[in-house]
Structure 1
Amino acid sequence: MAQPNDLLAVLVDADNVPPAKIGAVLTEVARFGTTSVKRVYGDWTAQNLSGWKKAASEHVIQPMQQFANTKGKNATDSALIIDAMDLLYTGRFHGFCIVSSDSDFTRLASRIRETGVTVYGFGERKTPESFRNACDQFTYLDVLEEPAAESKPPASAPVVTAKLRSDAKLVAGLRTSVTTASGEDGWAVLSTVGQLMRKQQPDFDSRNWGYAKLSELVGATELFIVETRPVGGHRVRVKQKNGD
């Protein structure tokens, strides 16, 4: 489990991430540890990256210049990968946050994880499954909200019970995870269920269905009983056919 003092490296692919989202990404990253390195890669002579200049300055992210020397070849990706490996070899970091929607970083994520270091991915819904699954945890940018937008409504309305139940992948994953994590009494610690879901589906996040908390998502399916304990958070078990 991530600790507040875990050192993290945040590496951003400017070509594949909108600058308006970086503040929300960094807020999310703060949940996992302390950001020691923040770098954003791109060809800053390109007009399409002009918005990143202000964002990088505001969030104190070091811009890494990489000229597009050959058309059709992504030199930016190569620069990010080389820097990531250099940072990995220092042995200083507990986790790497790769912010991109590009499948070119699939092997990088796999290689970092081979050393036992955690990889957090962030990207748009279009991000290929290969990159999402190569990360320990992958978060979609559209479920993140800017820190100043606390009073705004959720990014998406909560999915209703009927649609949740029709999501076979979600229901099967939750049932399997609850069963695996449960004790002889049938109850499972909800946080453990969430961890098991992440291992099966790195992009699993209750916010994908419009729910801020896992307990809210699980309860909304009406297939499980969720209880709040005085100590130890929530616990959950599969609801029996008689409703008990």
Structure 2
Amino acid sequence: MEQEPQGQEARRRAVVSFVRRSSKLDPRMERAWEKYSGEYLLELDKGGHELGVSADVRLSREFLASVWGEGFRADGRIIVEIGTGQGENIVAAAAAHSEDNFLGLEVYTPGVAHALLMAGKQELHNLRMVQVNAPELLQAFEPGVLDEVWTFFPDPWPKTKHHKRRIVQDALASAVHAALKDGGVWRIATDIDDYALHVHEVMDVRADFENAGELTVSLATEHVSKGTAEMAAQLPHADFTESARFEGRVLTNFENKGIAAGRVIHDMTYRAVQA
């Protein structure tokens, strides 16, 4: 009888929220990588998997301080952003809050390189990047290490058959909760109504998070897929609780495009509590 995959192998076969894209860098980004990766890129034991994290890795505050090097704020908050894209948001946050520590997670090499370039140009020391699959890294944190987790404008995976690839899932929520300190928050933003519904379906029923929002929004209560989003207006709606726009998030070109297209920006804040 074939045995079920265990440990790291099981994690490799799990459904992931990204597709592999070209890791080729243009000459400018190659120079940035060569110049700044030694300082800003955290190299963790990946257990033989390109974007994995070894089951032996345990990320405590002390471990982070030891591998971070110069610039780790011993008394500062630790904030993780899942999916930094080009790095605009986390670099701006690190520059604005030199008292805190920022760790960016991104799987795409060009995006990591761009974040390294921006951090290096500003000579930031309270920011590090790590190129891994986010759920695996979150599972490696010791309990209560993180103050905040950010997931801004994740891939919406609009086709119904692909909704299982959306990164906000119960398994990740459990890992985020375990890594957050009591009262820590998970901030999520999307410009896709159907993704907002998905987040509410995953998060609003959990006993280990409370919705910390203060605004009421109306959303269709049935899912739509790519090409049928216009049907949402005719579907039954219900009220959900969301947050005002997070002031700590810079207005990126991506968000501006969503606004220009007439899409509503949904900010959701979930506070970790004891279940």
* Shared fold, TM over 0.5: no
Higher relative contact order (CA 8 A, sep 6+): 2
Q: Classify the TM-score, shorter chain.
A: 0.3 to 0.5
Structure ID, larger Rg? 1
